[in-house]
Homo-oligomer: A and B are copies of this chain.
């Protein structure tokens, strides 16, 4: 009887608490959906700064923008955190393919971090392979002096497109070094693209120390289709000039940080962040302007609602996610040096699309502490807590300090149409989808700040 009474009391108190939380979830969503500033912030970032690769003058401009936007959120404190970043410079680039009788210039982009032709002419025949296994089977003499075309298609059958990206990205990251090992003089890849279009997608490639740094470019799907067809019917020649290179040394840059001090446990910190740098194409709107403005919106909405979180909430615009993660490293290093108590870190770097869930990278007990609130999220279309979460910028916190991580999981269908292309512009972001993601983040952070992770 006593047990039953206790159970009833527990149920009552839990439903009371659910009711309060549910009310706060509603307030947060209403505030963000009706008064949210993140979409306006994103417009300013995209249209006045544009793309902003680490180390570039544009990235420095983005830091100024970020500090201003963070202050406008009403954060208790805003500061810059120094980090030294590489500066990869694209310069001019031109790829011509001889499909049919004449050379024709095609739309192509050099892979990030790659070393181009130093502006000199590279002229060579192309050999096509569909995957690494096919490439392995080729004798060295066939590869030597050639440009290798890794014609691996992004698999459209994965429903969660990040799986398709994970499957295909090894050709971008590792293709050039694999090809160089057999004496190739250049690499062309089919972009990691779900798109039915011709946008080439850039993104980081990484040379092995042991191999020659051969130039590498990506083609959009339409041109890759044409090249595929041509290679099936005979030898295709390429002429190519590119100037891209990694500039020597590092450039001083910054993470932009804003925080609201916790009311009960100011020493316990919840971080939410996106990355401020982008590749040097498009406007870095979905990748990851969206995550930046959503993180700022979390602070703004809390301030506007007079919601004083129990824990300290920090929004961080990380620098250099795309090619070095120096900002994420600096943030973790500072946390260690200052002996900070990081309860949770959340990244939003999967686009400002309609949220579907929050991925969790933490102990099962911690996951359970969150998942029991699942029903609170359902009216906002957020139901999926089963994917792994996290992100590159916050991973150093996990590695060095065992901080539990989470990541916003928006709908993934459109991301790899746009990712790292000239088409990743403000117009590709929907204001309601962006805001809904920000609301999810604020709700999630409110919940953890209110109830802890255990």
Q: Do the beta carbons of A157 and B432 come within 8 Å of each other? A: no
- A-B pairs, 3 with minimum CB distance: A413-B432, A30-B157, A33-B156
A194: CB under 8 A from chain B? yes
Q: Do the beta carbons of B414 and A379 come within 8 Å of each other? A: no
A354 with B413: in contact, given A156-B34, A431-B196 (CB under 8 Å)?
yes
Query: What sequence of 0s and 1s flags, for each residue 6-45 of chain A, a beta carbon within 8 Å of any chain B beta carbon?
Result: 0000000000000000000000011001100001000000
Q: Which residue of B lies closest to A161 (CB)?
A: B432
A132: CB under 8 A from chain B? no
Question: What's the nearest-Cβ distance from chain B to residue A434, in Å?
Answer: 9
Contacts of A156 in B (CB 8 A): 33-34, 432
Query: What sequence of 0s and 1s flags, for each residue 395-431 of chain A, a beta carbon within 8 Å of any chain B beta carbon?
Result: 0000000000000000101100100000000000011
A234: CB under 8 A from chain B? no
Selected contact of A436 from candidates B33, B159, B196, B432, CB within 8 Å: B159
> In the docked arrangement, what's the CA distance between A85 and B433, Å?
37
Contacts of A196 in B (CB 8 A): 39, 431
Contacts of A417 in B (CB 8 A): 430, 432
A381: CB under 8 A from chain B? yes
A380: CB under 8 A from chain B? yes
Give the total of A residues in contact with B, Cβ under 8 Å. 27
A356: CB under 8 A from chain B? yes
Selected contact of A379 from candidates B29, B159, B436, CB within 8 Å: B159
> In the docked arrangement, what's the CA distance between A156 and B432, Å?
8
> In the docked arrangement, what's the CA distance between A194 and B433, Å?
12
Selected contact of A354 from candidates B29, B354, B384, B432, CB within 8 Å: B354
Question: What's the nearest-Cβ distance from chain B to residue A352, in Å?
Answer: 11
Query: What sequence of 0s and 1s flags, for each residue 191-204 of chain A, a beta carbon within 8 Å of any chain B beta carbon?
Result: 00010100000000
Q: Do the beta carbons of B432 and A194 come within 8 Å of each other? A: yes
Query: What sequence of 0s and 1s flags, for each residue 32-71 of chain A, a beta carbon within 8 Å of any chain B beta carbon?
Result: 0110000100000000000000000000000000000000
A165: CB under 8 A from chain B? no
> In the docked arrangement, what's the CA distance between A356 and B411, Å?
10
A positions within 8 Å CB-CB of B: 29-30, 33-34, 39, 156-157, 159, 161, 194, 196, 354, 356, 379-381, 383-384, 411, 413-414, 417, 430-433, 436
Selected contact of A29 from candidates B33, B34, B159, B433, CB within 8 Å: B159
Task: Give me 12 other A-B pairs in contact (C-beta within 8 A), A159-B436, A417-B430 excluded.
Answer: A29-B157, A33-B156, A33-B157, A34-B157, A39-B196, A356-B381, A383-B384, A411-B411, A413-B436, A414-B430, A414-B433, A417-B432
Q: Do the beta carbons of B411 and A354 come within 8 Å of each other? A: yes
Of the candidates A381, A411, A432, the one having the most CB atoms from chain B within 10 angstroms of its own CB is A432
> In the docked arrangement, what's the CA distance between A383 and B33, Å?
23
Selected contact of A381 from candidates B34, B159, B414, CB within 8 Å: B159
> In the docked arrangement, what's the CA distance between A381 and B433, Å?
16
Question: What's the nearest-Cβ distance from chain B to residue A198, in Å?
Answer: 14
> In the docked arrangement, what's the CA distance between A430 and B196, Å?
9
Question: What's the nearest-Cβ distance from chain B to residue A226, in Å?
Answer: 18
Q: Which residue of B lies closest to A39 (CB)?
A: B196
Question: What's the nearest-Cβ distance from chain B to residue A36, in Å?
Answer: 9
Q: Supply 24 A–B pairs (Cβ within 8 Å), ascending by A.
A: A29-B157, A29-B159, A30-B157, A33-B159, A156-B432, A159-B379, A159-B380, A159-B381, A196-B431, A354-B354, A354-B411, A354-B413, A356-B381, A381-B384, A381-B411, A383-B383, A411-B411, A413-B430, A413-B432, A413-B436, A414-B430, A414-B433, A417-B430, A417-B432
Question: What's the nearest-Cβ distance from chain B to residue A433, in Å?
Answer: 5
Contacts of A380 in B (CB 8 A): 159
Q: Which residue of B lies closest to A35 (CB)?
A: B156
Contacts of A436 in B (CB 8 A): 159, 413
Contacts of A411 in B (CB 8 A): 354, 381, 411
> In the docked arrangement, what's the CA distance between A411 and B413, Å?
12
Question: What's the nearest-Cβ distance from chain B to residue A23, in Å?
Answer: 14
> In the docked arrangement, what's the CA distance between A411 and B436, Å?
12
Contacts of A383 in B (CB 8 A): 383-384
Contacts of A157 in B (CB 8 A): 29-30, 33-34
Contacts of A33 in B (CB 8 A): 156-157, 159
